Structures are given as C-alpha cells and as structure tokens.
Structure 1
Amino acid sequence: MATAASVTSLVDEVNCPICQGTLKEPVTIDCGHNFCRGCLTRYCEIPAPESEESLTCPLCKEPFRPGGFRPNWQLANVVENIEHLQLVSTLGPGDEDICSEHREKVYFFCEDDEAHLCVVCREAGEHGTHTVRFLEDAAGPYREQIHKCLMNLRKEREEIQEIQSRESKRIQVLLTQVATKRQQVISEFAHLSRFLEEQQGILLTQLERLDGDILKQQEELEFLVSREICRFSALIEELEEKNERPARELLTDIRSTLIRCETRKCRKPEAVSPELGQRIRDFPQQALPLQREMKKFLEKLCFELDYEPAHISLDPQTSHPKLLLSENHRRARFSYKWQNSPDNPQRFDRATCVLAHSGFTGGRHSWVVGVDLTHGGSCTLGVVSEEVRRKGELRLRPEEGVWAIRLAWGFISALGSFPTRLALEKQPRKVRVSLDYEVGWVTFANAITQEHIYTFTASFTRGVFPFFGLWGRGSSFSLDC
C-alpha cells in the first residue's frame, strides 16, 4: 500500500498551475501543459494585453489557440487513481471495511455492480433494483465456484505434470536411442574403413604386379628388337659391301650369301602377351567382393538404423526345468536332468521354452541369437503373445500366439499353421529376429550373411515377448549384444 508521503508527492505532480488544486477534467494545450478545463476556460475569458496578439500559456508563455483544448483522458485516470490512493492512505488499521464515500461499515455486496455497500449505499436509488446480499451470503456461492475451479485446476496441473514426467522419460529414451545409433554408425563406418583399406591394398598390389609384368615384357621386347635389328643391320651392311665390289668378287659365294639373307626368318615380338592382356581385362572382377561388401554394409546399416537393438535377457521365472540358464541369463543349454525350479503360473511345464525378461507393446526391435547345434538337437526362435499358454501342450503356430522358426541339424522350418521347410544355402549360426509391432512383421535373417530366412505377418494387440526353445542333448543358444 502507498505511504502518505508517496501519495502526497503524486498529488503535487497532478496539480493545476492555475488553481494549484488537483486537476479537474484535465485538458492539454498546444505547448503540452495541462490545466483544469474550468480554470483554462476562465483564463481565456480574461482580456489579453494590447501588446499580445494571442493567448499565451500561463506557464511557458507559448501562444495557443483558445479552441485547441484536448481532453487528456489518460491523465484524468491517473488523477482518479491518485485520489483513491489518497483516500486509502488516510484509513487506519481495520478501516478496510469502511465505505470510502459515506465512512460507514460495509455489510452488503451488490452482485449486479460487484460493489461493496454500506447501509447508506444500499438505500441509495442506484442499487434499489439490484440483487444485494450480506457479504458472507454473497461469498458462499463464489467460494464453492472457487473450490470447483481449484479442484479442476489442480487436476489439470497434475495431468500436465504427468505428461511432463512421461515425455521427459520418452525424451531420455530417444536420446539413448540416438546415442546408440551414433555408436552404431561410428562402429560400422570404422569397420567399413578398415575393409576398404584392406581392399585398396589388395587391388593396388595386383596393379603393381601388372605394372611389373608389363615393364618386364617391355624389357624383353626391347632386348629382342635390339638383337633382331643388329642382325638385320649386319646383313644389310654385308649386302651393301658385296654390291660395291667388282663383278668377280661380287660373284664369289653369291648364292650362299643370298640364300642366307632370303632364308633369314624375322621374329616379330609381341608387346603384350595374351595372358597379360587377359589379366588386365579380368581386373574389374577383382572388385566384385568390394561391391558385395558395400551392398551388405548399406543393407546392414539401414537395418540397424531402422530397428532398435533390443538388449534382452532370459526370464528364469518362465524357464522350463530342463533348461540350464547362465548366471547372466544370456545363455541356455538343454539338459535331460530336471532343475529344482519352483512351479509358478509363468513357467512352462511341458514345452522346453523360456521367454525374455521384458516384452514389447510397440516399436521396431531386433536381437541376435547365436545357435549351437553341433551335437544335434533343435532350437526354436521367435516371439509369443503375453497370453501364450504356459501349462500343458503348447502348439507352436500363429493361432496359439506363437510366431517362430525351428532350426535343426540340416534344415530350418517356419512354424506356421502348417510347418514349412525352408531351402537355405547355409545353416545360419547366428539368427537376427526383427519385430515391427505396428506393421505386424516378425522377420528372421542370417545375422552374418544378411540372407533373409522368413517373415510372419500378424496383427498385434497385446504385448509380445522374445521366445526361445531347445530340445536335444548339447543344444544351446546365446543372446548376442
């Protein structure tokens, strides 16, 4: 609240220079000074001295037009506020409930004008037709409305805070995914860089060998050509000398000389041997491994950037007693010896299977499973619905909430409504399982060669879990990071 000194200072700022009182209906003239309308009107009615042609401002003596008054509404509002502060500053403690106009205690509230009234105000004619109530009676309904508003606002604030918390967690997840993908890009390009350097070295070495072989053939060619030129030059010189001799000397041994020249066979050396030419023509074939590796690199990079690597572990609460899990829950091995595992609703009791510790309700995820069937047996990989049957016989097919393949010694089968044997060039040692929850794809591929194995199409409405099964002594699998 403004102090009396500050209010007095403000009052001094809005005084009329003519009457020295607080401005009433303030008006502004051409020079910018403000006066009460009444004071300035009376000032204009006073006859001006003969030396002055027009009216001048009472303060700065600048001329102004008598009809050029401009009402200053903004200053009028300031004056009104100052007068209110002046009144409030005169009230003592406990006088806040006193009517500022009649100096009577306020008991009533006019709902039409939203004004506080004393007894005199209530009896005034301007509130005669309005709804007037005692203060507490009038405040009751508004308190209820405020209570409802507070409840709604607090509820909305809690919802916003929940959204903030949820979105903050999602942002952290996204940041983690970006960091993972950044590391994947760095790792894959480092691998590619090493491979390209190796391939560059191999190709340059082969080109250097071709260079050396070409230069060697060039030396051999120059040697043969020089030798043949020397022989022909000697014969030419001999014939020229014979031709210059007298007839008697020319005819001496002429036949043997001509026979030696005519029967001289010319060796025509080849600049590039056919074998060397073929090697040069076949050189582009040496770059085919590079082309295949680049294609594999791009496919792998696009796949890993598209799918989020799932860092999963096995859930011992779901594991069949014949499966031996490692301490880190990332390996499993089949054993005919039953483990001492307590029974619970989550555990498989007939199918020798185990689930991952956590499942998925959306997104695109992939994980790699290393399969070891060196000593026989079989391994089943895929995903299952969270409602998959745990007790009794489990039929491995999509109708039962299972989308999986089975790897056995020498063959692979897709476990659809009817098992389908798949023809692959090579038995995979590592299988990549990929889940696209929204699209409904479960895809299997050879994680080493990137060869596609099989894809299931489904419509997921509930959570799904990575699924693993083993059968046969010595069969095992491991989860790759």
Structure 2
Amino acid sequence: MASGIPSKKMREEAICSICLNLMDEPMSISCGHSYCHLCIMGFIESISLTQPEKSTCPQCRVPFQVDSLRPNKQLGGLIEVIKELERKKICEEHGEQLQVFCEDEGQLICWRCERAPQHKGHTTALIEDVCQGYKEKLQKAVTKLRQLEEECMNSMAFTTRQITEWKKKVETQREEIQFGFKTLQRFLHEEEKSFLWKLEKEEEQILKRLRANEAWLKQKSCALKNHILELEEKCQGSAQELLQDVKDTLSKSLAVMLETPEAVSLEPSVVCNVPELYLDVRKRLRSYQVDVTLDPDTAHHELVLSEDRRQVTRGPPWEDLDPSSRRFKAFPCVLGCEIFISGKHYFEVDVGEGTAWDLGVCLESVQRGVGMEQKPEFGFWAIRLSRKKGYVALTSSPTYLQLRDNPVLVGIFLDYEAGIVSFYNMTTGSHIFTFPKSSFSGTLRPYFQVYQYSPLFLPPPDE
C-alpha cells in the first residue's frame, strides 16, 4: 500500500475510545493515551463528582493530573490527512483515486483495479461518462418513489377519513340502538301501567259484584235462620199453638225459595301476551333463517329421506347402503347439509303430532357409533320429546321442561360467537329453552333423531 494511505489500523489509532469517532481536537494525558478535548473534559467532570481528588485514564486506569493535559497536534494533523483522503475516495488497495466505474460490480475502482484480474472483461467507464446517466435514473427513481409516497399519503388520509367516518357511523348506530330500546322500554312501561290499571279496575268491579252477592246471601241466610227458629218454637209449643194457623205457616214455608245470585265470570277480560304483541319473536328469528335440507350420507340405515330431502321417517333397515364413516350407526340420526362456523342462524322443524324426536345442532366431528352421548360436552345441543319423560333438554344432567303448549313447529336459533343455542315454540311464538353459554370451536350442523311414527319435516324459509 502507498505511504500516507489511511489503513484500517491507522484509522483505529485515531478513534476516540470514549465517543468511538475520529478524534476532534485530540488531547493527550500523562499515560500517553489521547481523547477528544470535549470527551476527556466531560469524563473528568463526571469523575470529579464521585472522586474529586483524582482522575484515571479511561483506558488503562493510570492516575493523571488535569493540568497534564496537552494538545496532540501531530495526531490532529494525521486525523486531518485521514479525513481529506477519505473525502477524495482513494482506493485502499492501490492508493489511487477512484475515477472508474465498474458496471458489472456496480462500484468505484481505480485504474489499477481496472487492470487487475478480478475486473478482467468487465464493462468499465470513467465516472464523468456514466454519472449523468445514473443521475437521471436516480431522479426517475426519486420521481416514482415520490408518486408512491403521494399515493401512500393519500391512502393514509383516506384510511384516516374512513376511521373517522366509521366511528361516526358506529356512534350513530349506538345512539339509535340505545334510543330505540329506551323508547321501547318507555312504551312497554306505559303499556304495563295501562294494562295493570285496567286489570285493577276490573278487579274492583268484579269484587264489588261478588261482595254484593256475599252480602245478599248473608241477609238471606239470616232470614232463613229466623224462619227456622220460628218453626222450631211452634213445634215445641202446645198442640193448640202448633195448629194455630198451621196451614198458612206451611204455605209460607214451602213458598220460600233461594234466588241464585248474579253469575260472575272469574276469567279476567284484560289479557296481555307480551311476546306476541310487542316483541314479535317470529319476525326477529326469521331474519336469520337458513334453508336446511337433510344429508343422506349421514342418515342411519333405518331412515328414509324424501326426494327433496326435507322429510325423514323411520322405516325398515336399508341393506344396500354404503358403509360411510359419516353415517350414524348407534342411533337413528341424520344431519342437515348446512354448516355453521360463525354468525347467527335459525331454522324450523315441523314435528307435527309426533310423539318422540330429538332436535338441535351438533359438532360435525361427533361420535356416530357405539359410545355416542347426546350432551354438550360431547358436541350435542338438543332437546327431546320422549314418550315416557315428556320434553327434556339434553344438558349434562337432563333438564325436564314443563311446556304450556305442545309445539307443532319448533324453531332452533344459533348464535355462534355468543355460544348460544335456543329453542322456540313457533306455534305460539314462545321460548322453550336456551342452553348455558358455550364456547364453540369447529363446524356445527343441524341435528335430528327420528322415532317410529314421528316423521320430521323441514319447511322452506318462505313458508
């Protein structure tokens, strides 16, 4: 390497061990080490706070006096030479100026590098000849990047506007929901007061009539008692007293009649069916209705599906069915074709006058052979009509249901995210049962178990 060329070793020697940069105004201490003027003064100041009487070299820890600091002009001059040579882009290997550009390597080289074996056959040119071309390319790149930056800023501004707009819409929707429910609550509260007032008035009127009847009956009872006493006294008297006006007395006694009080109906005429009149359960549920049909590949070998796959009945075993692993084997069950992995879904089942059935949803991965148990912990959420036990929710421990009316049309509602499965009597629009909240993971499907003489029918959503 040519003399005066700043080798890596020279540069390392000119580095301040405090700030790790080329020294600025290098100062030497008594041990011979040098540092930037500002760096060593700052070091001394920090040391004086904890050890005011002495300072030690940051490198070798040899004590030194502050007045021993001396400018290292020779090192300062060498540092200026290093800076000047670095500014001139000198080839570190040959000490020549970098005036040639190698297209293949994409780097600056000197004339000696150009003749070296590692650049043999490469396309090279003087810096002055290629600089303008690359400058134009860089300017085009800058133009493109600025366009992209502008597009990015526009997209960011658009997204910011979207965020603001979305927040406003959500807030508006929140206010509408709150207002709607407050209005409904006020309405229901006023209606409640109105119906209770009407019921109270009817109670007062009927009680008034009943108490009037009670008073009349008490009066009649008292008159009858007096008449009985009069006859008993007559019987206990002498024969002359008994026979005195006896025919007139008997005639009056036989003419006594007990008039029936005015009949009063004990059925209140003020009736309010809140679910049907105000909450409109049917309309709300049917807004989530899906068209469910039966999956023949899952049907037990004793089940017969209609051609449109909407009706299933229990019959004699089929002998030529394929032994699919998806088919139920332990119980006469079948799944719906539809799958539920998110959202809210609702479907209806016409159970007719059937005396036994299972309805609900289950995980697609449930056990279908021996060992199958219809419980939530095994992936089943269903209710059952049993000939012996009546209506039962198939919870971990069976929950027996007391229904006011026997449902002919049963609605099943699933809210996947909320973990809710609910059942409704759509004949009356009343709630039957809701399973305790679950945490669903996996695919859910409609589930049916069919019994003898109890076919199930899946009506289309528009019926």
TM range (shorter): 0.3 to 0.5
Could you state the TM-score of these two structures normalised by the residue count of structure 1? Answer: 0.40
Could you state the TM-score of these two structures normalised by the residue count of structure 2? Answer: 0.41
